Amino acid sequence: MKLSKSFFVANSSLLLFGVLFTFSSSFGQTFFISLFKPHLQNEFVLTETEFSTLYAVATIGSAFTLTWLGRFIDSTRLPKFSSLVILGLAIALSAFALSYSAIFLLLALYGLRLFGQGLMSHTSITAMAKFFDKNRGKAISIAAVGHPIAEAVLPITIVLLLGFFDWRIVIILCVLFVVLTIPFSRYLLFTKRNFTRLKMYIPSSMSVDERKASRPVNIIKTRAFWAIAPLNFSSATIGTAYIFFQLKIGDLKDWSPAFIALSFSGYAIGNFCMALVSGWLTDLYSARTLYPLYILPFILGLLFFIFNDSQWSYVVFITSIGVTNGFGATVKNAVLAEVYGTKIVGSVRSLFITVMVFATAVGPVLFGFYLDRGINFTTLSVISLAFFILMMLNAFRVYRIKSV
């Protein structure tokens, strides 16, 4: 698994473009917004339930909008599309900083989830999937590294800034960073050696059949969707739920919040390392071959967590979620290009992101519902394990499905 220096040298600007956009997508991610949660609740006098409801509505609304808006990457030149996405994120962050009512805050959260978590990441990964063929796995895995870098850098940076400035000022500083990415991203796309290659991004006209195939309702009707989507949905639903209730797990097992927080570094490390390794594995074996297997680290972590009550079992468990997410960041995206082709992959991926975002909203609600009814985490883990195995077995059907 030798690193190809020539690959990085020849494609450094485009790969950096991908990392920049996945990094910047963090301004709409849950971990970023949660850093401002106490300030928002105090400012707008919101209870836990009220804030969670606002956040869920914004997340689900952005998910359904993304299905429609994300498709335009297949028919719009990348420099224009990417600049509009950054501009949308900057406007959403500005609205966040200027919010003075719960309704305005809801609209700002909707914009952050749509342009941040949704379209910034969508632009990065779809561009890698479209531009690269032979080295698609490597390109996607390198672009995905922006996520763990942001998870490592932004929380401590934001917390330090909040110690000196009002939360609205901190958001304005984030707006300035996002705005500066517009000229930088265009520079990366239009550097001399990439200018002629950028012609590959000029969308060609779709045939009537391709336009029909790119419609969400028709994508859902394909056999490939029902082979791929269930595992995608279940990993996002269950993974998000465990992370959302990590402090609850620690409280029930009498583990300190400091230990839980420190353990999360295992998640970041596992995510980062596997995001890099998965690219080479994908190019070596194909995403179609690896797709049903990306959930295996999570399954093994669940098994260890179920049968071991020590603190280290949680470290292994949370790391396994990070490894699966790092693995999936490459494989889940590359398999869409392999199965559906690069011509409509933007439309396909926007639908799958909708599924993923909806799953991240549903997971905590489901776990919270069962926890309130006395079902413990051990039982939930056993149910999750059984569900994962069923979804993995279903995903093996992708081996027999021809490319759409």
The tens digit of pLDDT for each residue in 26-72 reads: 899 877 887 787 788 888 888 766 777 788 888 888 888 887 888 78
Task: Name the token pair of 214.
Answer: 């790119």
Least confident of 79-83, 168-172, 247-251, 370-374: 247-251
Give the domain-ending residue among 141, 173, 203. Answer: 203
Residues in the chain: 404
Q: Is the pLDDT of residue 1 over 50?
A: no
Question: Residue 6 domain-assigned?
Answer: no
Overall pTM surpassing 0.75 (yes/no): no
Task: Tell me if 220 sits within 8 A of 347, measured CB to CB.
Answer: no
Give CA–CA dist 274/295, Å, rounded: 12
Residue scoring higher pLDDT (355 or 111): 111
If we measure between CA atoms, which residue out of 114, 143, 141, 126 comes closest to residue 357? 114
Task: Name the token pair of 238.
Answer: 């269950």
Q: Between the CA of residue 9 and those of 140, 141, 234, 280, 288, what are the distances in Å?
A: 16, 16, 38, 17, 28
Give CA–CA dist 154/48, Å, rounded: 24
Q: Average pLDDT, stretch 195-224? A: 67
Task: Name the token pair of 383.
Answer: 């149910």
**Co-location of 270 and 389 in the same domain:** yes
Q: Which of 25-34, 73-82, 131-140, 315-324 has the highest mean pLDDT?
A: 315-324
Q: What is the pLDDT of residue 396?
A: 96
Q: How many CA atoms are closer than 13 Å to the CA of 350, on its beta-carbon side? A: 25
Q: What is the pLDDT of residue 48?
A: 65
**Co-location of 133 and 276 in the same domain:** no
Number of domains in the chain: 2
What is the Cα 4 distance to its own chain's centre? 26
The tens digit of pLDDT for each residue in 240-284 reads: 888 777 777 888 888 887 777 778 778 888 888 888 788 788 888
Q: Which long-range contacts (CB under 8 A, 24 or more apart) does 369-372 make?
A: 371/245, 371/248
Domain that holds residue 367: 212-397
Q: What is the pLDDT of residue 404?
A: 61
Longest Cα–Cα distance in the chain: 62
**Co-location of 270 and 350 in the same domain:** yes
Rg over CA atoms, the chain: 21
Q: Average pLDDT, stretch 149-173? A: 86
Average pLDDT, the chain: 84
Give the domain-ending residue among 203, 234, 250. Answer: 203
**Co-location of 186 and 303 in the same domain:** no
**Co-location of 47 and 135 in the same domain:** yes
Q: CB 378: neighbour CB atoms within 10 A?
A: 12
The tens digit of pLDDT for each residue in 166-181 reads: 999 999 999 999 999 9
**Co-location of 183 and 269 in the same domain:** no
Residue scoring higher pLDDT (219 or 248): 219
